[in-house]
């Protein structure tokens, strides 16, 4: 699409093209020299405002590409260009992003076109209203474009109604009572469009659909089996096999925890009505599990990741109300009328006391804290989107006052890189304050068999200071490994986790496509507890934060134990090697429940991780976090494509939007 707009008349596409052809001086050297001469005794940054044509901004982007890795200033220039495109309208912005996506091969043409149309309006809204430069702009530059270090956490003390009580004796464990069994499932990603026999070797990130004639079962040579394929999300037959296995292997389960993501991964095709249908169908099939406590996943939306917060215009916020209304209706038979009403009014979050117990289940919508939710990037980002942190504090305070223990369930683990640093810090403040009340936290999202530990001081991690554990279960979908579920053995009085066992269906067995066989994969105490010195295998002893700290220390010292753990992440399927920086990163994330300390994407490196390998002096090295959910974030893939080749981006802007766009004048702030 070529725009026809009033032209300023003195700058054109030719300037951008000529800039691309001529080697540029190192602007960083010039800027540093200028800054030194102007302010030789000051470290403060000076700036001035200027009026400039977009062609000059594009030329500066190209010059930045010629000098090495892009800087925050380069990113500000990119954002100025994107902002002008967004000001011209969502269609202009979406058209530009779609063409960049397709040309770069970030995804298939169908995925680029479909998901940019869905995600584009939220990204355009964020950029159109963004102040450049600003703290929000820096965060967006890092999380979406992969340019510019994240700013430090904005200092904020979460307010608490009461101070933390003095430490009391540890909860008294049961001596004679039979332990409870609690099932944990997550990321089932049921694909109701899955066609057995269809093409599993397609151009898209998720296959096993008939989207073209060549995908049909009678045409393709790549036939998907009835119980799934590693290039495809879960067919309904696999979903039903999971529920049948739980009923057979854990017939006396007290309840099931489902930590979200029931919608399939072909997110470029989802519609609100399809999401509603998927939710209702999963609820119907899951009813055989008797009692289920659920949480909202990032895929459980008509547009993946997008959950607008309450301080946005009403027409934006109300667009997601159908999600909460549907989940409220579906969950009411499990959680009761009062909690179901909370789901409707509280953006999917709710709290309920488990019947005949002193256990409070608190389900939080973690999507208000994730970097992929583009609605969060307001000019001044909210400290507490939709009041979810304050609500969590109130529920935990109620539990503490009533002498209850609490389980927190959510989708995204709060120490992962998906969690924005500020919100991860504020959430962890809450965990530290109510650590005596919180018995455990349960998450999914990563599709891997993992856990993470909370500490009051991540730069001084000790066994005695470890305060909490987040249990992160793996997925049903075969895209990330063998299908699986967890079963926790729990003390019936304290609700402490005593052990857990992972069950799986081995995808590689010859009879899998006839009927998956579900069996025990491993248990924590048999596998990790027995390997500790001294062994930790007493069936009545809880899996304390100290226990998990000691397991992590064992992994640091013992490559064999770590490699076995790493194979279990994917339940023994598609196992890859993990040494050096990979091992350091994995253990660092295991020992961090704050994203600013997880060693990924500029996060601080905890001492336990930096002892594993040397980073050649670069303690801000960017390590790639392995997260199966990232395959669907087309907007972020395009952002990283832009950052990887700024020259190509400048050419694409000029080619798609034309001289009438590049000649537009804007005001920008220039730092010197």
Task: Compute the 3-state secondary structure of the chain and give helix, strand, coil in percent, each to the nearest 5.
Answer: 40, 15, 45
69: which residues sit within 8 A by CB, 6+ positions away? Answer: none
Q: Is position 187 annotated in a ligand binding site?
A: yes
* Cis status of the peptide bond prior to 534, with omega within 30 of 0: yes
Terminal-residue alpha carbon distance, the chain: 37
Q: Identify the CA nearest to 504 among candidates 521, 516, 480.
A: 521
Q: What is the largest CA-CA distance in the chain?
A: 86
Q: Identify the CA nearest to 301 among candidates 335, 349, 340, 267.
A: 267
Burial of 382 (0-12, 13-18, 19+ CB in 10 A): middle
Secondary structure (H, E, C), 201-235: CCCCCCCCCCCCHHHCCCCCCCECECCECCCCCEC
Please check whether residue 596 is in contact with residue 603, taking contact to mean a CB–CB distance below 8 angstroms. yes
3-class DSSP state of 190: strand
How far from 344 is each of 340, 347, 348, 350, 385, CA to CA, in Å? 7, 6, 6, 9, 16
Q: Is position 298 annotated in a ligand binding site?
A: yes
How do strand 180-185 and strand 255-258 relate by DSSP bridges? parallel
Q: Is position 261 annotated in a ligand binding site?
A: yes
Burial of 110 (0-12, 13-18, 19+ CB in 10 A): middle
Buried (b) or exposed (e) across 405-422, using 16+ Cβ within 10 A? bbbbbbbbbbbbbbbbbb
- Within 10 angstroms of residue 549's Cβ, the number of other Cβ atoms is 22
Please check whether residue 26 is in contact with residue 67, taking contact to mean a CB–CB distance below 8 angstroms. yes
Please check whether residue 440 is in contact with residue 499, taking contact to mean a CB–CB distance below 8 angstroms. no
What whole-number distance in Å separates Cα of residue 421 and Cα of residue 618? 20
* Cis status of the peptide bond prior to 310, with omega within 30 of 0: no
Q: Is position 199 annotated in a ligand binding site?
A: no
Distance of CA 227 to the CA centre of its chain: 27
Beta bridge pairs of residue 182: 255, 488
Backbone angles phi, psi at 576, to 5 degrees: -115, 165
Sign of the CA dihedral 493, 497, 498, 503?
A: positive
Please check whether residue 188 is in contact with residue 509, taking contact to mean a CB–CB distance below 8 angstroms. no
Q: Identify the CA nearest to 246 among candidates 327, 333, 181.
A: 181
3-class DSSP state of 529: helix
Please check whether residue 498 is in contact with residue 523, taking contact to mean a CB–CB distance below 8 angstroms. no
Q: What DSSP character marks residue 145?
A: I
Residue ranges for the binding site for Zn(2+)?
A: 187, 189, 261, 298, 411, 445, 447
Residue ranges for the binding site?
A: 187, 189, 261, 298, 411, 445, 447
């Amino acid at each position: 699409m070529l725009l026809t707009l009033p032209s300023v008349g003195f700058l054109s596409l030719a300037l951008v093209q000529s800039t691309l052809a001529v080697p540029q001086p190192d602007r960083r050297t010039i800027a540093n020299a200028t800054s030194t001469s102007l302010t030789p005794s000051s470290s403060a940054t000076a700036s001035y405002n200027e009026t400039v044509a977009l062609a000059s901004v594009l030329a500066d982007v190209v010059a930045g590409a010629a000098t090495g890795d892009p800087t925050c200033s380069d990113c500000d220039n990119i954002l100025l260009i994107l902002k002008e495109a967004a000001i011209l309208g969502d269609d202009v912005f979406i058209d530009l992003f779609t063409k960049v996506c397709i040309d770069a091969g970030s995804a298939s043409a169908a995925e680029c076109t479909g998901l940019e149309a869905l995600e584009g309006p939220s990204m355009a809204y964020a950029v159109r209203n963004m102040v450049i430069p600003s703290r929000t702009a820096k965060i967006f530059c890092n999380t979406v474009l992969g340019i510019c270090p994240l700013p430090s956490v904005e200092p904020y003390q979460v307010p608490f109604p009461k101070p933390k009580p003095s430490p009391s004796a540890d909860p008294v464990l049961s001596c004679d009572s039979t332990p409870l069994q609690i099932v944990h499932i997550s990321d089932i990603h049921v694909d109701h469009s899955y066609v057995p026999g269809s093409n599993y070797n397609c151009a898209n990130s998720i296959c096993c659909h008939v989207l073209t004639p060549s995908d049909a079962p009678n045409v393709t040579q790549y036939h998907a089996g009835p119980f799934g394929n590693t290039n495809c999300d879960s067919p309904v037959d696999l979903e039903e096999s999971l529920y049948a296995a739980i009923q057979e292997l854990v017939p006396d389960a007290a309840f099931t925890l489902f930590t979200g993501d029931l919608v399939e991964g072909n997110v470029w095709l989802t519609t609100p009505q399809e999401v509603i249908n998927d939710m209702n169908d999963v609820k119907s099939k899951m009813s055989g599990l008797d009692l289920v406590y659920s949480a909202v996943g990032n895929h459980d939306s008509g547009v993946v990741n997008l959950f607008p917060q309450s301080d946005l215009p009403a027409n934006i916020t109300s667009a997601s109300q159908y999600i909460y209304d549907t989940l409220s209706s579906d969950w009411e038979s499990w959680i009761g009328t009062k909690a179901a009403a909370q789901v409707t009014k509280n953006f999917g979050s709710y709290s309920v006391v488990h019947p005949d117990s002193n256990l409070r289940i608190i389900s939080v919508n973690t999507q208000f804290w994730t970097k992929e939710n583009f609605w969060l990037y307001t000019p001044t980002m909210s400290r507490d989107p939709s009041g979810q942190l304050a609500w969590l504090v109130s529920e935990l305070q109620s539990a503490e006052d009533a002498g209850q223990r609490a389980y927190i369930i959510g989708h995204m683990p709060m120490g992962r890189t998906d969690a924005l640093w500020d919100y991860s810090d504020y959430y962890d403040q809450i965990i530290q304050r109510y650590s005596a009340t919180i018995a455990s936290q349960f998450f999914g999202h990563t599709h891997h068999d993992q856990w993470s530990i909370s500490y009051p001081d991540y730069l001084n991690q000790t066994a005695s200071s470890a305060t909490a554990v987040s249990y992160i279960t793996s997925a049903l979908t075969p895209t990330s490994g063998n299908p699986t579920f967890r079963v926790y053995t729990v003390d019936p009085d304290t609700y402490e986790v005593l052990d857990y066992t992972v069950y799986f269906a081995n995808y590689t067995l010859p009879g899998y496509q006839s009927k998956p066989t579900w069996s025990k994969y491993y248990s924590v105490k048999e596998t990790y507890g027995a390997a500790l010195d001294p062994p930790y295998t007493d069936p009545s002893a809880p899996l304390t934060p100290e226990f998990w700290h000691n397991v992590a220390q064992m992994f640091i010292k013992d490559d064999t134990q770590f490699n076995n753990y790493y194979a279990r992440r994917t339940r023994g399927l598609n196992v890859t090697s993990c040494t050096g920086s990979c091992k350091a990163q994995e253990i660092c994330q295991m020992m961090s429940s704050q994203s600013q300390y997880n060693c990924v994407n500029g996060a601080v490196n905890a001492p336990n991780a930096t002892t594993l390998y040397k980073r050649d002096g670069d303690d801000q090295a960017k390590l790639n976090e392995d997260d199966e959910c990232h395959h669907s974030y087309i907007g972020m893939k395009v952002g990283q494509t832009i950052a990887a080749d700024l020259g190509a981006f400048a050419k694409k802007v000029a080619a798609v939007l034309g001289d009438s766009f590049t000649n537009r004048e804007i005001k920008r702030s220039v730092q010197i």
